[in-house]
Amino acid sequence: MLVFFDEYNMKAKVYNLDLNGYKCPIPILKISKKFKEINKGDIIEVNTDDPKAEMDINELCKNIKIKILKKNFIGSKKMFFKLQKY
């Protein structure tokens, strides 16, 4: 896992989770665990190839204090999410 400072908000830390190869429910469990460990305003960048990830992350954001800052599809199988704890 890599930790960077966000270029726009020097106080926020950016964590990178590479969840490629993990299938439901592992990506959501790892994202939930990481959000419990980080501070308000911090960001998690998630790379995944789980076909259910988009739906699962949208549901997770409805249930806990996470907002989706960015969502990209990389090819037909991989996805990138930039999530922030608020």
Task: With cut-offs at 50, 70 and 90, classify the pLDDT of residue 3.
Answer: low
Percent of the chain predicted with pLDDT > 90: 77
Q: Which domains does the chain have, with CATH numbers?
A: 22-81 (3.30.110.40)
Q: Is the pTM of this model over 0.75?
A: yes
pLDDT at 7 over 60: no
Convert the pLDDT of each residue in 39-64 to its tens digit: 999 999 999 999 999 999 999 999 99
Contacts of 7 (CB under 8 A, 6+ apart): none
Which residues, at least 6 apart from 33, have a Cβ–Cβ distance to it below 8 Å?
Answer: none
Report the relative pairing of strands 13-18 and 78-85 from DSSP bridges.
Answer: unpaired
